[in-house]
Amino acid sequence: MADIFELFRRIGSEGPAKAAPVTAIVAGLGNPGSEYKNTRHNAGFLALDAIAAAAGVRVDRAKHHALVGEATLGGVRVLLMKPETFMNSSGDAIAPAAAFYKIPPERVIVLCDDISFAPGRFRIRRRGSAGGHNGLKSVIARLGSEEFPRVKIGVGEKPRPDYPLIDWVLGHFSEEDRRAIDGRLADIVDAVTMIVRGECEAAMNRYSR
């Protein structure tokens, strides 16, 4: 019996197990504030909310100029981020977080909207230029690298060439378009989990080809 009591004493003295360190960042891009909820530019926020819900965590702690939460995806501890800096300054939140956790660019996964794809479609890219997306421009500038994976979520093309881009991306989803995106959120969660596990090529093969 004495041995059992000694074992319990040692276990108690060790304290609770420490959480695994954060080794990746998943950041959804968008604009903070209720007036931007359900707008096309906030597709990244929608996807991040789905990831947080699947992981059973909340992204509501203010840190690094963002709302953050820690989660485990595919056995990997990640920081989930929703920058509070507005879209065009997204890198001002993501870069300091990456520096704090010592996360290299290739372990920063960015979720953003893309007008090149119809709602309900998304594409994964391992790296690349901003392609005219101001949020990605900011992340590239602040990280000093294009070598980060991104999941580009289709929000539909402008209805006509002369339609102002800013009005389009800050416009709200139609019910049909929102349903199309909601119908792919589970796939986006799966794709991001694969990327976090180091299976970016497999995720691209499954969802982007």
Which residue among 41, 64, 65, 133 is the active-site one?
41
Active site residue 172: no
Strand ranges in the chain using DSSP code E only, listed in sequence order: 24-28, 61-63, 66-73, 76-83, 108-114, 122-125, 150-154
Measured between its terminal Cα atoms, the distance across the chain in Å is 62
Torsion of CA 112, 22, 74, 202, to 10 degrees: 50
Which residue, among 156, 151, 208, 205, has the nearest Cα to 180 in the 3D structure?
156
* Under 8 Å between Cβ of 109 and 24: yes
Q: What is the C-alpha to C-alpha distance for residues 147 and 28, in angstroms, rounded to an integer?
A: 17
Residue 69 pairs in a beta bridge with 80
Q: What is the C-alpha to C-alpha distance for residues 122 and 78, in angstroms, rounded to an integer?
A: 22
* Under 8 Å between Cβ of 97 and 81: yes
Indicate which residues carry an active-site annotation: 41
